[in-house]
Amino acid sequence: MGSMSDTSSQKTVSFGFETVTEDEKVRRVKGVFRSVAGNYDLMNDLMSAGVHRLWKYDTLSRLNPQPGEHLIDVAGGTGDVAKGFLERADRAGQRTGNNEDASAVICDINDAMLAAGRERSDLKSFRERLGWICGDATALPFPDRSADAITIAFGIRNVADRLKALEEFRRVLKPGGRLAVLEFSHMTAPLLQKAYDTYSFNVIPWLGGLVAGDRSSYQYLVESIRQFPDQETFRAEIEAAGFFRTSVTNFSGGIAALHFAWAV
């Protein structure tokens, strides 16, 4: 699927503009996020001028979290989406007089990202109902039909076997559960493409070198965005994994897109 091929016994996939085995991609992606973990939140704000917060806000609006629900935030990193989910569920509960607590687990393959998230002071009030688990999207350490919602924000691009991960999401979701995949995507405004390319291939690696002392991880980031399938191709992959009522919402002219789907 996507750029994946199976010419030998080991499947190969893209790692940025390189082709590597799946195992090698997993190893290198771990290295990238171990390296950027300490500066991750700051770099997100700098690179996107804070716009990633609006994309996450709109993703949560679409999810419409409710009291008592359980979220698994896959590749959840430092916990932005899980935090927003719990806040929204609490607000919904206050409006309707339902004081059941929602809960969330952040599942990420990288212990360094989880450690950075655990240190966030703005997550302290949610400590009791927020779990942090080190795990791989392609082999989720959760029982069948245990989540009301699954989110994966800017994570699926880094997963070596996307279909396996999507199948895991479907296994773990309850019937009627919803999947929200927020990911960088392909621009729908061709006139802006050149400016976007110039920004991504020049400014972002430079900024990564300056702020995080790690140019190559940010070079991987921009290359991996280009390698990710376009909106309709990825939507077809979600359907192939058995999801229903899939939809795509483009953000900022397709710089990012929200793929939304239901499990039955």
Q: How far is the CB of 97 from ligand SAM (least distance, A)?
A: 32
Q: Within 13 Å of residue 184, how many CA atoms lie on the same side as its CB? A: 18
Q: Considering beta carbons, is residue 158 or 231 the nearer one to ligand SAM?
A: 158
Stretch that binds ligand SAM, among 84-92, 152-160, 222-230, 235-243 (CB under 6 A): 152-160
Residue with structure tokens 């773990």?
A: 172
CA-closest candidate to residue 152, choices 43, 261, 36? 261
Stretch that binds ligand SAM, among 60-68, 75-83, 183-191, 230-238 (CB under 6 A): 75-83
d(CA 196, CA 229): 17
Q: Considering beta carbons, is residue 102 or 159 the nearer one to ligand SAM?
A: 159
Confirm or reject binding of residue 260 to ligand SAM (CB under 6 A): no
Per-residue binding string, ligand SAM, 6-45, x by CB under 6 A, is -----------------------x---x------------
Q: How many residues bind ligand SAM (CB under 6 A)?
A: 20
Q: How far is the CB of 208 from ligand SAM (least distance, A)?
A: 13
Query: What residue type is assigned to position 261 of the chain?
Result: A
**109-120 burial by CB neighbour count: b if 16+ within 10 A, else e?**
bbebbbebbeee
Q: Considering beta carbons, is residue 152 or 261 the nearer one to ligand SAM?
A: 152
Where are the extended beta strands (E) located within the chain?
Answer: 12-15, 18-21, 70-74, 103-108, 130-134, 147-153, 173-184, 244-251, 256-262
Residues that bind ligand SAM (CB under 6 A): 29, 33, 74-77, 80-81, 108-110, 113, 136-138, 153-155, 158-159
